[in-house]
Structure 1
Amino acid sequence: MGYRILVVDDSVFMRKIVSDIVSEHPELEVVGTAKNGKEAVEQVKLLKPHAVTLDVEMPIMNGLEALQKIMKEAPTPVVMLSSLTEEGAAETIKALEFGAFDFIRKPSGSISLDLYKVKQQLHEKLLAAVKVTMRSIAQPFAGSAPPLVSRGTAVNKPGVLSAAESVNKANAGKPRSSKFDQLIAIGTSTGGPRALHQVISQLPGDLPAPVLIVQHMPPSFTKSLAQRLNDVSQLKVVEAEDDQLLETGTVYVAPGGWHMMARREQGGGYRIKLTKDEPRSGHRPSVDVMFESLVPMKELKRHAVIMTGMGSDGAKGMLALRKSGAVITIAEAEETCVVYGMPRAAVELQGVTDVVKQPEIARKIVQSVHSASS
């Protein structure tokens, strides 16, 4: 008997396709299907599957509502099935904040034979999902660290955007400068959108450094991620563009499908460099590529962070940064990671100066920046 999987989709055709794909792996077994979110919640309680594949758009109760009920009433790892539309990408980012383990793309709309193209990806994510410790994704955002942004902003509340307008007004009014002597770089993968939501929402709008982020994610989803983070942050958050000038108080998210680096200009200042070079460790963007671009910039006080994710991307780059004199290199602590892969690799390679729980990472970054300024 393999790991028990529940398949949820409103399309009969898609339920059959996904069930067939799941069943092709010897360690995975489909124990049931559901055609809407209400059925999904009932089946999770009844069948107690090891993991669930969950469509976003469904009648009666959609995937986001079902996901929240599952996380509250019967916490179970969930892999979302996302459409390629802009709306689908935005909903998927919310799902990851609400506790979904990960997602796969529907290659071309809600009914698609070429879903088989993502068979290997679905198998990998389900096998990783069934092994995850649910404490790290089922609980609400941990509130052990008081927020570092002003009151009234949407901090640590997934899905709460009521204060987004005031946050955006606040971050739009902050003076930004292309003159700085500090830079923050963050790498993350599985579980990353939720972790980034917590960390970025806690950073103050007057941060005297740019923030570079590599999140393993396909094109179009990184744009939605940047928009979502911008809604809950006092910093300005954008999807990075080639040759974009780096400024303080701004977060640059690497676009899916592109490596992102920083490059120094001859006359001073720093810009984004995007390339389509070969994937590194299977990833483009790659955390290692971003970190390594910062290694020669010893004139900058560099602060590097690796958070939750599968694999080892970023570990070598973080070690190189530490050896080149980075102020701090932070790995997220195992107990708050959805997947303790990338941080573990960085710790084992001895590239890490500090191991920090997710709710404390923003505070640690701010402290590091302040001490480096004095």
Structure 2
Amino acid sequence: MSLAAAPVRVLLCDDSATVRAALARVLEQEGGIRVVGRARDGREALALLDSLPEAERPEVVLLDLEMPVMDGMTALPLILRRHAPPAVIVASSLTQRGAAAAMAALRAGAVDYVPKPGAAGGGLADPAFRAELLAKIRGWARMRRPQVPAPGPGRAAWGLGGPAPRVVGIGCSTGGPQALSALVRRLGRGLPVPVLVVQHMPAGFTAMLADHLDRLGGPGCAEARDGEALRPGRLYLAPGDRHLLAEALPDGALVARLSDGPAENFCRPAVDPMLRSLAALCGGRVLAVILTGMGQDGLAGCRAVAAAGGTVLAQDEASSVVWGMPGAVARAGLARALLPPEALGEQIATMVAGRGAAA
């Protein structure tokens, strides 16, 4: 069996035997995933990592954060010290405390998180949870395996062909927190335009993500508030369960608007409404950036940006956990370049300064 076709090896770590069994059923009924171990706490997970033969060691660990004996936050750095450490996806409750713990785990080296669904939403059998979990496990396992570079436009060279962007709109979903972090670190302080960001994420988690991004040394970041001025050098993150739009005041100043409008692409917040509002207000002075994520949210918004004369960039396939959203934009011929997040951050900084694109 080739490496590309080999099943993804997963270790489950959760103190509930019921949850471990349910997760194993969800994963093993899907093709291409194999559960190689189940642990009830961090100490058992570490013992399994040391005892499994090399061919059976997990590529991905799904790690609960709240467990007795040894919790996930204690186990996480110990897992990451192992030779050829697995990708660690943490599972947290849909609470403010759970969101804070998930962001702390990302800062400590976890690659991603999944919010545990409540019983009211269908629990572990919820289709949306299953789709997100499977996409993250497969995507991060693929990122851990040797990859053959895919041909693509890479670093394209072009001139702005017009004035520098007045505003930047960024959209992302699966794998987005890590991609956003890498991009934001390259923006630096003093960005001369505001940046609006839509990350598909539940209410409560977005405040913690904004705090996480705010600590990275780039532009200051916070959840957007309805009616606040959109100022240069700031990142405005759409709150969970609210669309983020822009509106122009009579003097031309831009302000944020939050909307409870219907979900688009099964999402609220969604990327498309944000980009449409920017294109309507700023025309060709919009820079849209689409990062990793499932589905095609952002495609319609990028069409509006391109039609108004704005510029669209997208994350490349090799660096994307899921090349759904950026892939849809690329296949539609809308992306002027496909780049990894770090290069996208540098490109944004260059373009908003009015210096054109890097060769």
Task: Report the TM-score when normalising by structure 1.
Answer: 0.77
Deviations 1:256-307 (A, max 9, x none): 1111111112232111111111211111111111111111123672111111
Closer/same/farther in 2, CA of residues 324 and 72 from structure 1, 3 Å limit: farther
Structure 2 equivalent of residue 119 of structure 1:
126
1:55 CA displacement? 0.5
1:209 CA displacement? 0.7
Q: Secondary structure of 1:38's match?
A: helix
**Pairing 1:290-305 to 2, within 5 Å after superposition:** 290-298=274-282, 301-305=285-289
Distance 2:30 2:131 in 1: 12
Structure 2 equivalent of residue 86 of structure 1:
96
Distance 1:17 1:134 in 2: 21
Distance 1:212 1:121 in 2: 25
Deviations 1:225-255 (A, max 9, x none): 0111112234221101112211111110000
1:246 is aligned, of 230, 242, 245, to 230
Structure 2 equivalent of residue 222 of structure 1:
206
Q: Is the 8 A contact 1:75 1:134 kept in 2?
A: no
Distance 1:335 1:103 in 2: 22
Distance 1:331 1:50 in 2: 27
Q: Secondary structure of 1:313's match?
A: coil
Closer/same/farther in 2, CA of residues 286 and 322 from structure 1, 3 Å limit: same
1:118 CA displacement? 5.2
**Pairing 1:346-365 to 2, within 5 Å after superposition:** 346-365=329-348
**Pairing 1:95-174 to 2, within 5 Å after superposition:** 95-97=105-107, 98-107=109-118, 116=123, 119-132=126-139, 134=141, 136=143
Q: Secondary structure of 1:123's match?
A: helix
Q: Which amino acid aligns with 1:121?
A: A
Deviations 1:145-183 (A, max 9, x none): xxxxxxxxxxxxxxxxxxxxxxxxxxxxxxxxxxx9711
Distance 1:5 1:232 in 2: 31
Distance 1:8 1:333 in 2: 32
Structure 1 equivalent of residue 186 of structure 2:
202
Closer/same/farther in 2, CA of residues 117 and 337 from structure 1, 3 Å limit: closer
Q: Secondary structure of 1:88's match?
A: helix
Distance 1:313 1:218 in 2: 16
Q: Is the 8 A contact 1:79 1:126 kept in 2?
A: no
Q: Is the 8 A contact 1:262 1:294 kept in 2?
A: yes
Structure 2 equivalent of residue 57 of structure 1:
66
Q: Is the 8 A contact 2:117 2:123 kept in 1?
A: no
Q: Secondary structure of 1:295's match?
A: helix
Residue 338 (structure 2) pairs with residue 329 (structure 1): no
Residue 287 (structure 2) pairs with residue 278 (structure 1): no
**Equivalences, count:** 327
RMSD value, Cα: 3.0
Closer/same/farther in 2, CA of residues 30 and 114 from structure 1, 3 Å limit: farther
Unaligned runs of at least 5 residues, structure 1: 140-179
Structure 2 equivalent of residue 32 of structure 1:
37
1:60 CA displacement? 4.4
Q: Is the 8 A contact 2:90 2:110 kept in 1?
A: no
Residue 232 (structure 2) pairs with residue 236 (structure 1): no
Q: Which amino acid aligns with 1:329?
A: V
Distance 2:179 2:104 in 1: 12
TM superposition outliers: structure 1 runs of 4+ over 6 Å: 112-115
Structure with larger RCO (C-alpha < 8 A, sep 6+): 2
Q: Is the 8 A contact 2:247 2:277 kept in 1?
A: yes
1:19 CA displacement? 4.4
Q: Secondary structure of 2:273's match?
A: helix
Q: Secondary structure of 1:15's match?
A: helix
Distance 1:113 1:273 in 2: 30
Q: Which moved more, 1:331-340 or 1:124-133?
A: 124-133
Distance 1:234 1:87 in 2: 25
Task: Report the TM-score when normalising by structure 2.
Answer: 0.80
1:318 is aligned, of 294, 302, 306, to 302
Q: Is the 8 A contact 2:11 2:61 kept in 1?
A: yes
